[in-house]
Homo-oligomer: A and B are copies of this chain.
């Protein structure tokens, strides 16, 4: 059900011929109201795809009636022709649904540089079919249609005792950037909340969930997370409760992304504790998550903790490198910058891996979600375009 779980939403996923496999590749999510309040966050990459350039403007007034999403081409670095394709897509959806084109958000995912006449025709020719297929049960088809190298659709729902609910779908893995396919997320709710509350809640939730997934350090050009609120429950949700529920749902989707990252054989949680600030904890966790050497070692079930310390030593976070403790799956392999418990005690056979870093510099903490570096990652990303 996912995005169609909350009241007031219909969705569809159809075959537009963008994927060579013939799988679903064009999705629509429509908010039937009574409210069409919305918020969205986008990639911070300065190289932004045409759909991102369009959608940043479309969401500025806090109103989105429909989201149209395609896989099979990112429509990024495709010039003015590509932007016109995005614009024409929004117009086609607007015509089919009798809404304003400026209330249509557009998302694309796939290879950068793909967005020619064939791409445009495939989308425009199939928008009417996507509109005709809209259904209160269409969430699963939509979640299928936005997949690229994902092996499974990612969906999540949450219910509040207060009478409102949230649903969400996601594909890819953002900075995990599977093959530069990109992270796209659509979240719906029937809570009755204005756009400014949705915006605050969405930024608070993504900051500690999607923004903390870092599988391969590569930031996408197309990342978009959208939150649509129909108000159909008739309940004005408490902002604090709503933000907490939204954060949990975003974390659930983020971890689904991590678990399906290309080629990964370990899901690694890098838990940084006792940092001087949350920013410091994030900086240290992210630096460690970007060490190819560490990630290759984890792939080989090798608890090479020296690579953790070498990575965090490149940051300017507050700590004394010779006071740090490092534990891997519960074994403190390094205490105060020296070998402590035997590395032979560390069991890295399970897919779930935890690296705990105690900076002993304060009481802030953060967890970064990453993956190992495997032969399959190299293979999939050397062969993506072929």
A residues whose Cβ falls under 8 Å from a Cβ of B: 44-48, 74, 76-79, 111-113, 177, 179-180, 216-221, 290-293, 296-297, 299-300, 302, 304-307, 309-315, 321-322, 334, 336-339, 373-375, 377-379, 381-386
A302 to B378, CA, bound (A): 12
Given contacts A112-B310, A293-B381, A305-B113, contact A338 B218 (CB under 8 A): no
A300 nearest in chain B by CB position = B382
Q: By the criterion CB–CB under 8 Å, are B45 and A310 in contact?
A: yes
A311–B219 CA distance with the chains assembled, in angstroms: 7
**SS class, residues of chain A in contact with chain B:** loop
Q: Which residues of B contact A47 (CB under 8 A)?
A: 309-310, 312-313, 321
Q: Which interface residue of A46, A374, A383 has the most chain B CB atoms within 10 A?
A: A46
Docked complex Cα distance between A312 and B48 (Å): 11
Q: Given B74, B218, B293, B375, which contacts A293 in the complex, CB threshold below 8 Å? A: B218
**Which residue from B218, B302, B337 sits with its C-beta under 8 Å from A310?**
B218
- A379 engages B375 (CB within 8 Å): yes
User: Within the complex, what minimum Cβ distance (angstroms) separates A138 from chain B?
Assistant: 31
Nearest CB in chain B to that of A302: its residue:
B385
User: Which residues of chain B are near A300, meaning CB under 8 Å?
Assistant: 381-383, 386
CB contact between A381 and one of B74, B296, B314 (< 8 Å): that residue: B296
- Do the beta carbons of B314 and A180 come within 8 Å of each other? no
Whether A290 lies near B377 (C-beta < 8 A) is no
Q: Given the complex of chains A and B, what is the CA–CA distance between A244 and B378 in angstroms?
A: 39
Residues of chain B with a CB closer than 8 A to A293's CB? 177, 179-180, 216, 218, 381
Given contacts A313-B46, A334-B77, A338-B79, is CB(A306)–CB(B382) below 8 Å? no
The chain B residue sitting closest to A316, CB to CB, is B46
Report yes or no: A304 in contact with B384, Cβ–Cβ below 8 A: yes
Residues of B within 8 A of A44 (CB): 314
In the complex, which of the residues B220, B314, B336, B382 contacts A302, with contact meaning CB atoms closer than 8 Å?
A: B382
